[in-house]
């Protein structure tokens, strides 16, 4: 099981790294690349067109500003694509979000929140869990652990007052 994460710029890496950490926590192989829809469009398209034969099962595209990378990738690949809008200096990432989420009919890109890298990783895990049931069990445990953490925090607050 392998997920490719493409980012339009290396400045996106601090956000993307959170996605990588989630995927690795679940034991998913990750291939991370810097490929721009605007500065290296031929390389980005070539990567997307060959991703499936190279063992990739889900592609995550992180981009800011015009944020065309996930859409370009979805346009040439039959693999599921998840977009991470990156908060840029312009419009606090709203421009990125709208660029990714407003895809034309027939070219879907699942889109998470601005800088929502963790959720992109979790969504990829859930997609992969259709084929790999062991990931579904790991996801159940992950959610149970999150719930338990909230219960513990609640108990901590209750004991203070």
Question: What is residue 89's predicted lDDT score, i.e. its pLDDT?
Answer: 75
Burial of 157 (0-12, 13-18, 19+ CB in 10 A): exposed
Question: What is residue 129's predicted lDDT score, i.e. its pLDDT?
Answer: 98
For range 84-109, the mean pLDDT: 93
Return the SS3 of 81. Answer: strand
Q: What are the angstrom distances between the C-alpha of 91 and each of 61, 104, 149?
A: 20, 23, 34
Closest CA to 125 of 33, 26, 46, 42: 26
pLDDT band at 160; cut points 50, 70, 90? confident
pLDDT band at 94; cut points 50, 70, 90? very high
* Cα end-to-end span (Å), the chain: 48
pTM of the model: 0.95
For range 95-103, the mean pLDDT: 95
pLDDT (tens digit, 9 = 90+) per residue, 23-65? 999 999 999 999 999 999 999 999 999 999 999 999 999 999 9
Closest CA to 121 of 56, 34, 25: 25
Q: Does the pLDDT of residue 88 top 90, yes or no?
A: no
Question: What is residue 13's predicted lDDT score, i.e. its pLDDT?
Answer: 97
Q: Does the pLDDT of residue 139 top 90, yes or no?
A: yes
Burial of 121 (0-12, 13-18, 19+ CB in 10 A): buried
Q: Is the dihedral of CA 145, 151, 157, 159 positive or negative?
A: negative
Q: What are phi and psi of 81, to 5 degrees?
A: -120, 130
The structure tokens 């959170």 sit at 18
Q: Does the pLDDT of residue 90 top 80, yes or no?
A: no
């Amino acid at each position: 099981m392998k997920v490719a994460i493409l980012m339009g710029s290396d400045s996106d890496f601090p956000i993307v790294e959170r996605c990588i950490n989630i995927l690795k926590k679940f034991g998913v192989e990750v291939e991370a690349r810097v490929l721009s829809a605007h500065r290296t469009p031929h390389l980005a398209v070539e990567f997307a067109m060959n991703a499936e034969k190279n063992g990739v099962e889900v592609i995550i595209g992180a981009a800011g500003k015009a944020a065309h990378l996930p859409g370009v990738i979805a346009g040439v690949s039959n693999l599921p694509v998840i977009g991470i809008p990156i908060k840029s200096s312009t419009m606090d990432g709203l421009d990125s979000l709208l660029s990714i989420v407003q895809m034309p009919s027939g070219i879907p890109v699942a889109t998470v929140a601005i800088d929502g890298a963790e959720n992109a990783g979790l969504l990829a895990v859930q997609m992969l869990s259709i084929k790999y049931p062991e990931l579904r069990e790991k996801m159940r445990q992950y959610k149970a652990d999150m719930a338990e953490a909230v219960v513990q925090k609640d108990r901590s607050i209750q004991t203070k007052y």
